[in-house]
Amino acid sequence: MAMPRHARLSIPGVPLHIRQRGIDRSPCFGSEADYQLYLGLMTELSPRFACSVHAYVLMTNHIHLLATAEEPDGASLFMKNLAQRYAQHFNRTSHRCGPLWEGRFRSSPVDSERYLLTCYRYIELNPVRAGMVSSPVDYPWSSFRTNAIGVPSHFLNPHSEYLRLGATTSEREAAHLGMLTTGLSTSELAMIRAAISANAALGDEGFVAEIEARLGRTARPVPRGRPANGVSTGRKKSLSPV
């Protein structure tokens, strides 16, 4: 009998780091028109479901978003409609059938005071870590150009922590650009990856405890046992950052 799905750690007003992969980590974008359509769908659907998108990157076989919903199910409805609408387009134009995405998306509530801007950097530096570009400005399918150099966006909504970077738009963009030049530490990368992979909260002990108290269940990564005798799990490795 299938195990019941756990409800997501979603609280109105608390930002979520969201990741969704192509099934078997297969490509989910094949042309510029695909990327443009995905962005257009975010423009249409984010206000419909009151889900503000602060940062994003569209990689070849997965996506990352940083978003805040106003309703408990806002992020789930936003991602459900976004995934379904895009998959219908991709299957039609690619002459394929079957699921495009690897099950449900992953999500991690983010402590805005300590880790929100770190998540901005994690998301927008993904193409650099993957070796696709040497600078995030060279990658057109992320929020970097809007957040750091002011290229207009039809749907991005800056988080209050981003707005605190400066008194003016130019000050905020300069501060954001400066942050991204420093990259992320090994511990920061490991913490973000562990949280998103486990659908767990990203924050200090106080933040995690608050999420658990508000939702009435654990918000921490659940340890997984290693395969016995070194037996492989058979899972494929990703050639791109997660």
pLDDT value at position 238?
A: 38
Is 56 a domain residue? yes
Q: Domain count of the chain? A: 1
DSSP 3-state assignment of 95? coil
21-42 residue pLDDT tens: 999 999 999 999 999 999 999 9
Flag whether pLDDT at 240 surpasses 80.
no
Is 231 a domain residue? no
* Cα-based distances in Å from 182 to 121, 125, 242: 9, 10, 19
pLDDT value at position 237?
A: 36
Contact 185, 121 (CB under 8 A): no
Is 185 a domain residue? yes
pTM of the predicted protein model: 0.88
Flag whether pLDDT at 137 surpasses 60.
yes
Q: What's the CATH code of the domain at 161?
A: 3.30.70.1290
Q: Where are the alpha helices (DSSP H) in 66-185?
A: 74-94, 112-124, 126-129, 144-149, 160-163, 169-181
C-alpha to C-alpha distance for 173 and 152, rounded to whole angstroms: 12
68-109 residue pLDDT tens: 999 999 999 999 999 999 999 999 998 888 999 998 899 999
Q: How far is CA 223 from the centre of its chain?
A: 22
Task: Write the Ramachandran bin of 152: left for phi over 0, alpha for psi from -120 to 50, otherwise beta.
Answer: beta
Residue 67, C-beta contacts closer than 8 angstroms, at least 6 positions apart: 15, 16, 18, 46, 51, 52, 53, 54, 75, 78
Is 237 a domain residue? no
From the list 203, 112, 208, the residue with the least C-alpha distance to 158 is 112
* Mean pLDDT, the chain, whole residue set: 89
pLDDT value at position 214?
A: 85
* Cα-based distances in Å from 147 to 61, 161, 181: 23, 12, 14
pLDDT value at position 218?
A: 84
More confident residue, 222 or 164: 164
pLDDT value at position 182?
A: 84
pLDDT value at position 103?
A: 85
pLDDT value at position 215?
A: 82
What are the φ/ψ torsions at residue 167 (nearest 5 degrees)? -80, -20
Element (H, E) at 56: strand 51-58
Is 6 a domain residue? no
Flag whether pLDDT at 158 surpasses 60.
yes
Flag whether pLDDT at 2 surpasses 50.
no
Is 3 a domain residue? no
Flag whether pLDDT at 111 surpasses 90.
yes
pLDDT value at position 16?
A: 97
More confident residue, 235 or 38: 38
Quote the domain boundaries for residue 183.
16-214
pLDDT value at position 223?
A: 62
pLDDT value at position 125?
A: 97
207-234 residue pLDDT tens: 889 888 888 888 888 765 544 444 333 3
Token pair 């150009």 in the structure block, residue: 145
Flag whether pLDDT at 239 surpasses 50.
no
DSSP 3-state assignment of 105? coil
Dihedral, 127, 90, 42, 202 alpha carbons, nearest 10:
-50
> How many CB atoms lie under 10 A from the CB of residue 117?
23
C-alpha to C-alpha distance for 198 and 219, rounded to whole angstroms: 9
Contact 127, 133 (CB under 8 A): yes
DSSP 3-state assignment of 155? coil
Flag whether pLDDT at 126 surpasses 70.
yes
